Amino acid sequence: MLVLVESKQITVSDVGVPMYGSTTALRQLLRSEGNEAHVVRISPKGYTLVNGVDYCYVGLKSKDGTDYSVQAYGKEAIELYEQAVNLRY
């Protein structure tokens, strides 16, 4: 028996999932009406991976107890770090 399977690469836009940059996602989580989140952890300033790429992690917790994380690499990591520090309080 021979079964042919079609291989197709699917992008996020193909399935209608909205895409956001890390700073936009952070702002939306912090300002989500009725279930705002607050920053509980930010990776250290200037953190880089072993391959030399800048990296930033921001951990958040919403009012209902849901944990979220926002991550970024490269130039976007620097922007995310700056936004998280400015918006954490």
In a domain, 18, yes or no: no
Q: Is residue 75 part of a domain?
A: yes
pLDDT at 12: 53
Over the stretch 59-88, which tens digit does the pLDDT of each residue have? 999 998 999 999 999 999 999 999 999 988
Decide if pLDDT at 37 tops 70: yes
Question: Does the reported pTM lie above 0.95?
Answer: no
Cβ-based neighbour number of residue 30 at 10 Å = 18
Tokens representing 48 are 């880089």
Q: What pLDDT score was predicted for residue 35?
A: 77
Q: Assess if residue 20 is contained within a domain.
A: no
Handedness of CA 86, 56, 21, 68 (dihedral sign): negative
Would the pLDDT of 10 be above 80?
A: no
How many domains are contained in the chain? Answer: 1
Q: What does the block give as tokens for 5?
A: 């399977």
